[in-house]
Structure formats: C-alpha cells, structure tokens
C-alpha cells in the first residue's frame, strides 16, 4: 500500500514519448500527428502511462492519489507493427522523449513522496447494517450480545489490516468501527469475518451494508449518539448504548486511542444535542414508540380497558411498562423468569397494579391479553403459529385482533403468526409508522442538531490530525535533548570535579531554557488543534520540512510495517 508500492520505481508499463510541438515540427511530413515513438517495446500498438494526481473528497475531506492509465493512439499496420514514418520519428525523438519521461516520472515521485502521509494514514471506517438498509432477519443473525463484544474486538484486531475496533450492536443496528491500516483490505477482512460469525454469504452482506470513512464515519456516529439516525428522533437509549461501548472497551487492547476517542466524543455530542435542542420531546425510545404503535392499532375507546401483557422485565420491558403508565394504563401483567425485577419495578412505580406471572404461565397469560409486548433475550421464538392458533378470540371492542409488539432482536415472535386471521405481529421495523407521524418536527430538530454535530466533527478531526505530528515532535525533542546533554557534559568536563551542585543545576537549567525557547517556534508550527488558522496541509508541510532539516527520518512506512508484523504474527 502507499506510494512505496504504487510508485515503485515510477512504474510505467510502456514508456511514452509525448508528441510535443517542437518534436512535431521536426517530424517528416508523412508522420501522423497522432503517432508516437515507443521505447523498449516497439511492437506495442498503444502506449500507456500512469498519471497520478491528488484528489480531494469534498464530503469526507480525505485525500487520495488517483492513478489512471492514459492511452495514446498510434498508427499501426496490419501486422501490429508501427509504420515506417512512426519508427523514424521515434528514432529522432527518443532521446528528448526519454529525458521528458525521466523528468515527468521524477515530478510524480516527488509529489507522491510529499503525499505519502495522506495515502498511508490509517482510516476510521464503519461497516454497518441498520434498520434503514437491512431486514431484521439478517440483523438478528449478525447481532453480537454485549458479553461477546470483547471477544469480537479481539478477533477483529487480529485481522491483518485492523488496528483498533469497537462493536455497536443494538436491536436497530449492527455497526463495526475500525481503524484500518488499509481501507479496502480492512473492509474485505471485516466483511468476511461478519460472514463467518453469522453464516450469511459475503455477497449478501455487501448488498445490504453501508460503508463510511473518516469524517463521514465520525459524523455518522455523532448522529447515532444524538438520536438522529434512530427510528424515533432523539431516542435516549442509543446514547446509553454508546456509553456502554466505552465502558466495555475500557482496558481492551483493541479499543485504542482513535476509536475510544471517537466514542467518547460521540457521548459528548449526544449529551450536548439533547441539552441544547428539543430533540427529546415526544416518543424518544423504541419502547415508547412500541406503546404508541399499539395505541394507534387499538380503537381509541379501548385504550383504558385493553388487557396488556409485558413479557420480559429487563431494561426494554421496564421502559414499556413506564410508557404504558404514562399513557394511562393502570393494570398489566408481567411475565418474567424471576419476580425480583418485577417487584423492583412495582416498588418504583406506585399506585399501578402490576401482576407478576412466572415464565411457565406465559401461554395462559397470552390467552387473556389483547396486546402482548415481548422484550426478552431469548434466542428462540416464544410464539410460533401453533402456539397462537388455539388462543381464544379477541373482542371486537378492542379491534378483534390480538396484537404482538415484538421489540426484541432476535425476534421473540415468529413472522408465521401473521398468517393467522386472529393476530397481527409488529417488530422493530414496523415502528417506522410512529416516526412518520412526526416527520416535519423531526426535520426541524435535526437541522438544529446537525449544526452542533458539524462543530464537534471539526473539533474531533482537529484532535485526530494533531496526533499525526506527535512522532515528529517526540523525535525533535529527543534530537535536541541529545545535543543539549552532549554539549552540557563537554562544558562541565572542562571544570574541576568539585564544581558545586548549585552551579551544575544553574548551567543545566540554562541549557534547558535555551533549547525550549529555540523549539518553541517549530513546535507551534506543528500544532493542528483548531486553535489557529493553520491548515492541516500547512502543518504537514512543516512536519516534513523539520524531518528533512534535522534528519529525523520519521518512518513514513509505519503502516506497512504494522501490517507486515501482523501478518507474520498470524502465520505463526
């Protein structure tokens, strides 16, 4: 990767001789203006050269070197051999053409060396499958329980081109954030890893995944943390899940400086957006949206009388209960494996009748319920078609249909239940109906939040950019310190051994002060933290200039070395 391979020896498949104005004037009248002289391979029909230039991605602000093969037409005979006039022209202009080519190749190589920083810089990449792009059937196969996040991070960082990683797995999304030593190879490795753990073919994952890099990946996570990418605008639960990624990642080797810094900054963004905007007004979680969806499907006259059953008393189940209470429900049945959690909820929510039933009585409770919310961690469905077929019918005054609101991933209710005329199943994908009802308000609040996200994205990028000059800063300080100590020892050696400690310290302090004052200017010009008007390109130019002037020899091929090391380690 990087220029070291792209520009190895200014690799050119066939040497091209440009048809300049001066050379065309010296050609014979019979020479075609489009004809060119070829070196090394006179039988080639066309000449090709890789032209490389810097391209700036306007959205992501990233820079890449684009190499394209340019083909120049050439007159050939039926035997695919250049015409006599073309050969004569080639002979006459070969020396000047070679010089032009050498100069051009040298210019390309010099530009490439200056741009190696951009080419070789690690990329923050998100490989994601969300409710917006992927059906629930695929998401539930890819879902990684929180207890498995450390293992997943370890396996991801064991891949040849992945240095850091984090997993954000919720009911609405499965997103993997990585620091990739090579963007495209890293994406390939992560996609294959996802296929391996889920059993889903790589081709199918590619069909549904989305890919974002660097600034776009940063902005995406900030939007996720702020609740802008959720089904319900301003959903608070996703911010808690982002916080949990940081909590679980603490101490993990693969949860490194870049990725941990990204997630910590995302938490700051999420808090700021909720504090400074009205984004949390209304339904702000999957649980609240589930309750609103149920009430939308029920006749309004039955809201106070419909029989509610909640299966699962975890975080999601507790939120469902709270939102049911907020909507006026005064009685409900809660099925859970143990009574402890239900008792704690009952203690917290006073004056509401919450009836506990054990897991064994789930079907009997379902037979006496009009609306059933499921939110358990069960990996197998709790309700299939055969479980629901024999349940008693629902009265017409509550809609005549038994409603299953399944907010679990993996799903607790099989889609086959929808085949029955007496029941309807709604899962997390169906919550879009609730969101659509508030679309205009969502757009207005999102615009307010986006302004905040834009500011924070610039701050994070400035922080990450500032990391690029750290090796140069360290080496420059070490270089100056070596000179200082050597000259200090040389100076002190000229005095007697009994020179007072106070005098030694004074001379030492003097030398340190001189060095610090001299380094102050160069260090200031290596700053790229957004505190001044200096651009990243200017800072990087300063960095390369210092490397050359002081022969610091900062290792610009560090990414290749890291990759080589990981490959060798994986082969052991």
Q: Predicted confidence band at 531 (pLDDT cuts at 50, 70, 90)?
A: low
With tokens 């963004």, the residue in question is 269
**Residues forming a β-bridge with 53:** 66
Q: Does pLDDT of 191 surpass 50?
A: yes
pLDDT of residue 57: 43
pLDDT of residue 80: 44
User: What integer is the mean pLDDT of 243-270?
Assistant: 92
Return the pLDDT at 310.
Answer: 97
Q: How confident is the model at residue 563 (pLDDT cuts 50, 70, 90)?
A: low
Angle CA(323)–CA(324)–CA(326) in degrees, nearest 5? 60
pLDDT at 251: 86
pLDDT in tens, 329-342: 999 999 999 999 99
How distant is the alpha carbon of residue 73 from its chain centre?
43
Confidence category of residue 462, pLDDT binned at 50, 70, 90:
confident
Higher pLDDT, 103 or 449: 449
Listing DSSP states for 63-105 in one string gives: EEEEEEEEEE---B-TTS-B-HHHHHHHHHHHHHHHHHHHHHH
pLDDT tens for each residue of 116-127: 434 446 889 999
Tell me how far apart the alpha carbons of residues 497 and 506 are, in angstroms, rounded to a whole number: 16
φ, ψ (nearest 5 deg) of residue 64: -135, 160
Residue 517 structure tokens: 């004052």
Whole-number Å distance between alpha carbons of 323 and 329 = 9
Per-residue pLDDT, 69: 40
Ranges 349-363, 367-381, 494-508: which has the least confidence: 494-508
CA distance 166 to 265: 14
**Total-model pTM:** 0.56
Cα Rg of the chain (Å, integer): 33
pLDDT mean over 141-153: 92
Q: Mean pLDDT, to the nearest integer, of 149-164?
A: 92
Confidence of residue 564 (pLDDT cuts 50, 70, 90): low
How confident is residue 42, by pLDDT bands cut at 50, 70 and 90?
very low
Q: Report which of residues 278 and 330 the model is more confident about.
A: 330
- Indicate if the pLDDT at residue 297 is higher than 80: yes
Q: How confident is the model at residue 479 (pLDDT cuts 50, 70, 90)?
A: confident
In terms of average pLDDT, the best of 75-89, 269-283, 346-360 is 346-360
In the predicted structure, residue 82 carries a pLDDT above the cut 60:
no
Q: What percent of the chain has pLDDT over 90?
A: 38
User: Lowest-pLDDT range, 47-61, 167-181, 488-502, 516-530?
Assistant: 47-61
pLDDT of residue 570: 67
From the list 416, 411, 436, 320, the residue with the least C-alpha distance to 371 is 320
Sorted by sequence, the CB contacts under 8 Å of residue 245 that are 6+ apart come out as: 149, 166, 167, 168, 263
Helix 257-276 vs helix 214-226: crossing angle, to nearest 10: 40
3-state class (DSSP) for residue 503: helix
Torsion of CA 242, 248, 252, 254, to 10 degrees: -30
Share of the chain above pLDDT 70, in %: 69
pLDDT(362) > 70: yes
Least confident of 53-67, 77-91, 98-112, 288-302: 53-67
- C-beta of residue 64 within 8 angstroms of C-beta of residue 29: no
DSSP state of 391: S
Cα–Cα separations (whole angstroms), residue 498 to 487, 490, 493, 501, 502:
19, 16, 11, 9, 11
Beta bridge partners of 383: 413
Average pLDDT (146-161) is: 92
Average pLDDT over residues 295-324: 92
Closest C-alpha to 402, from 411, 410, 387 = 387
Which one from 52, 67, 110, 171 is the annotated catalytic residue?
A: 171
Q: Which residue in the block uniquely carries the two structure tokens 């957004």?
A: 530
Average pLDDT on 34-45 reads: 35
* Count of CB atoms situated within 10 Å of the CB of 275: 10
Residue 171 a catalytic site member? yes
């Amino acid at each position: 990767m990087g220029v070291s391979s792209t520009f190895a020896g200014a690799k050119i498949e066939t040497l091209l001789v440009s048809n300049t104005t001066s050379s065309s004037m010296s050609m014979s009248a019979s020479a075609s203006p489009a004809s060119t002289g070829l070196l090394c391979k006179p039988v080639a029909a066309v000449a090709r050269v890789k032209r490389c230039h810097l391209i700036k991605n306007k959205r992501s602000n990233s820079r890449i070197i684009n190499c394209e093969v340019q083909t120049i037409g050439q007159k050939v005979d039926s035997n695919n051999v250049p015409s006599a006039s073309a050969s004569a022209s080639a002979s006459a202009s070969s020396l000047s053409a070679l010089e032009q080519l050498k100069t051009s190749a040298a210019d390309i190589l010099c530009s490439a060396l200056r741009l190696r920083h951009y080419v070789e810089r690690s990329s923050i990449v998100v490989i994601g499958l969300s409710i917006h792009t992927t059906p629930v059937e695929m998401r539930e196969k890819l879902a990684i329980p929180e207890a498995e996040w450390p293992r997943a991070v370890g396996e991801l960082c064991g891949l040849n081109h992945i240095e850091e990683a984090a997993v954000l797995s919720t009911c609405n999304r499965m997103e993997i954030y990585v620091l990739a030593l090579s963007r495209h190879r890293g994406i390939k490795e992560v996609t294959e890893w996802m296929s391996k753990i889920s059993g889903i073919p790589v081709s199918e994952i590619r069909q549904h995944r989305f890919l974002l890099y660097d600034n776009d990946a940063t902005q995406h996570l900030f939007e996720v943390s702020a609740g802008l990418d959720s089904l319900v605008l301003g959903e608070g639960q996703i911010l808690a899940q982002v916080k949990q990624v940081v909590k679980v990642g603490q101490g993990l080797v693969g949860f490194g400086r870049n990725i941990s810094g990204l997630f910590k900054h995302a938490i700051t963004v999420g808090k700021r957006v909720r504090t400074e905007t009205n984004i949390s007004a209304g339904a702000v979680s999957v649980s609240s949206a589930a309750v609103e969806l149920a009430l939308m499907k029920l006749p309004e006259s039955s809201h106070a009388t419909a029989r509610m059953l909640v299966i699962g008393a975890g975080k999601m189940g507790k939120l469902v209960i709270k939102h049911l209470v907020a909507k006026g429900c005064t009685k409900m049945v809660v099925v859970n494996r143990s009574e402890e959690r239900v008792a704690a909820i009952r203690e917290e929510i006073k004056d509401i009748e919450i009836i506990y039933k054990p897991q064994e009585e789930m079907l009997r409770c379902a037979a006496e319920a009009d609306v059933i919310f499921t939110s358990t961690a069960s990996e197998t469905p709790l309700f299939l078609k055969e479980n629901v077929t024999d349940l008693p019918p629902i009265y017409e005054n509550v809609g005549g249909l038994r409603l299953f609101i399944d907010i679990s991933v993996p799903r607790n209710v099989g889609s086959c239940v929808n085949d029955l005329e007496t029941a309807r199943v709604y899962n997390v994908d169906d919550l879009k109906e609730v969101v659509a009802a508030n679309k205009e308000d969502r757009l207005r609040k999102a615009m307010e939040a986006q302004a905040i996200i834009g500011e924070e994205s610039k701050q994070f990028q400035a922080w990450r950019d500032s990391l690029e000059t750290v090796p140069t800063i360290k080496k420059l300080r070490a270089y100056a310190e070596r000179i200082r100590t050597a000259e200090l020892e040389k100076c002190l050696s000229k005095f007697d051994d009994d020179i007072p400690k106070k005098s030694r310290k004074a001379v030492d302090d003097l030398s340190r002060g001189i060095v610090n004052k001299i380094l102050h200017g160069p260090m200031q010009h290596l700053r790229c933290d957004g505190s001044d008007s200096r651009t990243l390109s200017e800072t990087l130019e300063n960095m390369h200039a210092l490397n050359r002037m002081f022969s610091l020899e900062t290792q610009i091929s560090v990414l290749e070395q890291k990759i080589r090391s990981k490959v060798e380690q994986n082969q052991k």
